[in-house]
Homo-oligomer: A and B are copies of this chain.
Amino acid sequence: MSREDPDVIDSVEKAFRLLQSFSAERPAMTVSGAAAATGLTRATARRILLTLERLGFAETDGREFRLTPGVLRLGYGYLAALPFWEHAQPHLRALSDELREASSMATLDGGEIVYVVRVPASRSMTITLNVGSRLPAYPTSMGRVLLAALPDAELESYLDRTELERLTSHTITDRAELRAELQRVREQGYAVVDGEREEGVRSAAAPVRGSAGQVLAALNVSANAARVSLSELRTRFVPRLLETAEAITKDIAGLH
């Protein structure tokens, strides 16, 4: 690509880097702050911030810049393009209402799962992960469902490049053991994870399929281990989870 105007490509990369440097910890930045946060020069940071402002993605009081709600448009094209996105949400809400636990859908992006639909448990007073947030795939039930659906070569390359961190005392960190667990997930058609990412959090996930049978996303239900035993998760949650995944899959097929 260096043949093709590398400066332009470079400036686009810098603009996205700067945009992504805003966060809960850095909701507003001066030109100098943005330069420090991104490693860009003050001149470049200023030029990009003014461009983002002109495009309606940032606003400034003359000193600090903040993002505007305009940036939400940038992810919207992706979500709107998901074939299941609109139709899945009432199903997740019904599942969450019945089981009184949080329900989500996620897709795989590199080695991470990305939440694309999220219905918190109605009683939840601490907000949980939201759309766009990410987790490593290997210790999560949705990640296991999505990894199990990868072609063997892609799965092996994931396993080769991914460090399996011991996040809790339960986390599977042995590649052979994880490979065997993913094989089990393929065979049984769902994944159950018990406190491997976070102590005291259990979850089950199942695949949602496109009309060609390909796995489009994973659907899960998660629960606090103090409220829901592993056997209840398997005997009461998993059957409803599989029915809901099937219903969403049917809705998607109905679109074609």
Q: A residues touching B (Cβ–Cβ < 8 Å)?
A: 1, 4-5, 7-9, 11-13, 15-16, 19-24, 26-28, 43, 46-48, 50-52, 54-57, 66-81, 85-87, 89-90, 93-94, 97, 107, 109-110, 114, 116, 120, 122, 124-127, 130-134
Contact = CB atoms under 8 A, between A and B. Distances in A.
Contacts of A57: 16
Given A15-B16, A67-B78, A71-B75, 6 more contacts: A1-B47, A9-B50, A56-B109, A72-B78, A72-B131, A74-B75
Contact of A15 (B15, B72, B114, B126): B15
B127 A48 contact: no
26 contacts: A1-B47, A4-B46, A4-B47, A7-B8, A8-B8, A8-B11, A12-B12, A12-B15, A12-B48, A12-B55, A13-B51, A13-B54, A19-B74, A22-B77, A24-B81, A67-B78, A68-B109, A70-B109, A71-B74, A72-B116, A72-B131, A76-B132, A79-B132, A85-B127, A89-B127, A93-B124
A79 B86 contact: no
Contacts of A68: 78, 109
Contacts of A81: 22-24, 26-28, 66-67
Contacts of A23: 77, 80-81
Given A1-B50, A16-B74, A56-B109, A79 B130 contact: yes
Contacts of A74: 16, 19-20, 71, 74-75
Contacts of A73: 20, 75, 132, 134
A52 B78 CA distance: 13
Given A57-B16, A114-B69, A90 B22 contact: no
A5 to B, nearest CB: 6
Given A77-B22, A79-B132, A122-B94, A69 B13 contact: no
A54 B1 CA distance: 10
